[in-house]
Copies of this chain bind each other. A is one copy, B any other.
């Protein structure tokens, strides 16, 4: 499977990166047939018609459209100091069918920057490998409060009623995710740094109708909590 976001009936040139892979690595030739996805639900079966210096051109034999599922999982997480952990989590989340991931700068964040380009490459590789039909959206780091403003119930005109807003919180009195998560809903899950969210941040989120949820009894690392939430979303919707 190859990924070329602009590939369509009007543009049968594969992008440079994937063309390079086809021509130089796999050494495919005119007449060979490939599967090409545009990351927006279309999967093309296409035959190579021309090998050029930087691209190859195709004749589309067939196109299949896979409709998007009707609900989504959006994870907003404060990345760990060790980026390896976030990269691994990201890859797994893509395999599990995550729709969107945002990175939060919180009061207790240890990391304020990410290499978005590198993470995007991981997302694309994992999407292709796991044969997903849509490329998940990945957003650069954003201040917690700005994120909440932008993504709160009030500003979600289309899907607010069909969305559950959760903040994972380590507290014995918090209700469990298990007790309130519902299938066929959009889920927005906020996960903090190792030191949890600050009191201030929790108040901000509560004011915007985020529900505090616990992810079970054991103490999970940040990236494990992200993974766990995604597994739960997949499990209840299967």
Contacts and interface: CB of A to CB of B under 8 A. Distances in A.
Interface of A: 85, 88, 92, 95-97, 129-132, 176, 178, 216-221, 224, 227-228, 231-232, 234-235, 238
8 contacts: A85-B88, A92-B227, A96-B218, A97-B218, A130-B219, A132-B218, A178-B238, A216-B238
Given A231-B228, A238-B178, A130 B95 contact: no
Contacts of A217: 238
B224 A178 contact: no
A85 B221 CA distance: 17
Residue of A132, A216, A238 ringed by the most chain B CB atoms within 10 A: A238
A66 to B, nearest CB: 12
A95 B238 contact: no
A95 B226 CA distance: 13
Given A96-B224, A231-B228, A232-B235, A131 B88 contact: no
A141 B176 CA distance: 37
Contacts of A234: 216
Contact of A235 (B85, B88, B178, B218): B178
Given A178-B235, A235-B178, A235-B235, A130 B220 contact: yes
